[in-house]
């Protein structure tokens, strides 16, 4: 665990020291500055039973300043001119004692975060986006604090949410197995089994190890032995379980799918115009949720509603149109005048021949 404050940097060995008492610090009034905090929050919740009450994520902040999920090394080089020591991707962090190179690399991860935070906060204030970023940080903390029910984990898999009846029940059972397995082996859930594999297993419902090995996204190593058999047990449980109840989210009508594609293209352009990370502005799921009338869509509240809400409403009600203008997509008031090929122009291009 790397900690920094003022001009101090401390490395704590969690194999030698119980870090659970850190909970008192995390629950205190101080601000925790972290880069790409999601996985750190998972670890802190597991080891300390809590996460920071107040958080500043330098990677998320960079998204509000035009960068797309930059690495810490890239961010420090661009903002502060600091070059971090190169990491050894194959470094064994369980080996003791750690090498000087490993210690230097670990310390460098936090040594400049406070300085980076100060600069990013100034930039966010200048752009009028500090409140936007703080809202995202608060959501990140709230999501981490919420206890994850394994039986609801399948709803976080985008393609699984579209499944119905028996496949949905299998997806729920397999995703719940994945959550429990990840906690057991202390690994991220997608390292246990990919989202693609969860959905493919739900659709095919394999009954044997050979059938499981043939499922798209399932590593052949996973399909063998005890792990493979435990997945098949989850499949069997899903097949006999009551299918999950609909979460009440309306589905996007087929006739609105072209609108989702159009809105997605314009939102990506609009984000670039605003110097925002397009992925932070809206995902395809956000867009489809908004167009389907789901009041829980992220685009219906906070800064996203402020930035894009009225425009999307205009696209939906037909009062505005998207136009291609010198390489950019722009929104314009719709003329309601259809544009169709003129018969006379067609005949002229064909040398006066009658059109079919």
pLDDT along the chain (356 residues), means of 10: 94 94 95 93 87 96 90 94 82 90 93 96 96 94 80 86 91 95 83 93 95 90 86 96 80 85 90 89 88 87 89 86 85 82 56 49
CB 250, CB 292: distance < 8 Å:
yes
Q: What is the distance between the terminal CA atoms of the chain, rounded to a whole angstrom?
A: 75
Question: Which is nearest to 154 in space by CA: 201, 222, 209?
Answer: 201
- Residue 334's pLDDT is 87
Helix (H, G, I), strand (E, B) or coil at 32: strand
Helix (H, G, I), strand (E, B) or coil at 274: coil
- Residue 351's pLDDT is 57
**Could you give the CA distance from residue 33 to residue 75 in angstroms, rounded to a whole number?**
14
Q: Name the token pair of 25.
A: 């610090």
pTM of the model: 0.76
Question: Which is nearest to 72 in space by CA: 42, 34, 39?
Answer: 34
Q: Could you tell me the domains of the chain?
A: 2-145 (3.30.420.10), 150-240 (1.10.150.80), 254-333 (1.10.150.80)
- Residue 223's pLDDT is 78
- Residue 330's pLDDT is 84
- Residue 355's pLDDT is 44
Q: At what angle do helices 195-204 and 225-240 cross, to 10 degrees?
A: 60
**Could you give the CA distance from residue 160 to residue 284 in angstroms, rounded to a whole number?**
15
C-alpha torsion 270→275→279→285, nearest 10: -30
- Residue 346's pLDDT is 53
- Residue 352's pLDDT is 52
Half-sphere exposure of 310 (CA within 13 A, CB side): 6
Which helix (H) or strand (E) segment holds residue 332: the answer is strand 328-333
């Amino acid at each position: 665990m790397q900690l920094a404050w003022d001009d101090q940097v401390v490395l704590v060995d969690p194999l030698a020291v119980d870090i659970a008492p850190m909970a008192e610090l995390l629950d205190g009034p101080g601000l925790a500055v972290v880069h790409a905090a999601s996985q750190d929050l998972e670890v802190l919740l597991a080891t300390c039973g809590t996460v920071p009450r107040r958080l500043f994520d330098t990677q998320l902040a960079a998204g509000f300043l035009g960068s797309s999920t930059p690495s810490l090394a890239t961010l420090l080089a661009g903002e502060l001119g600091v070059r971090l020591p190169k990491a050894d991707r194959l470094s064994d962090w369980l080996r003791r004692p750690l090498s000087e190179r490993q210690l230097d690399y670990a310390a460098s991860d936090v040594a400049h975060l406070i300085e980076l935070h100060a600069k990013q906060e100034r930039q966010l204030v200048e752009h009028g986006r500090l409140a936007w970023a703080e809202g995202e940080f608060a959501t990140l903390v709230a999501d981490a604090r919420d206890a994850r029910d394994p039986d609801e984990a399948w709803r976080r898999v985008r393609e699984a949410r579209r499944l119905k009846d028996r496949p949905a029940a299998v997806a729920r059972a397999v995703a719940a197995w994945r959550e429990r397995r990840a906690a057991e082996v202390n690994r991220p859930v997608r390292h246990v089994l990919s989202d693609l594999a969860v959905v493919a297993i739900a659709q095919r419902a394999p009954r044997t190890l050979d059938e499981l090995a043939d499922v798209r996204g399932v590593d052949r190593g996973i399909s063998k032995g005890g792990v493979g058999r435990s997945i098949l047990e989850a499949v069997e449980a899903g097949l006999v379980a009551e299918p999950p109840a609909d979460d009440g989210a309306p589905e996007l009508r087929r006739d609105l799918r072209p609108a989702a594609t159009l809105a997605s293209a314009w939102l990506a352009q609009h984000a670039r115009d605003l110097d925002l990370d397009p992925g932070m502005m809206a995902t395809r799921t956000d867009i489809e949720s908004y167009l389907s009338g789901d009041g829980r869509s992220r685009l219906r509240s906070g800064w996203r509603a402020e930035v894009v809400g009225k425009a999307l409403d205009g696209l939906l009600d037909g009062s505005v149109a998207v136009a291609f203008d010198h390489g950019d997509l722009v929104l314009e008031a719709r003329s309601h005048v259809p544009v169709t090929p003129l018969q006379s122009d067609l005949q002229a291009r064909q040398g006066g021949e009658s059109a079919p």
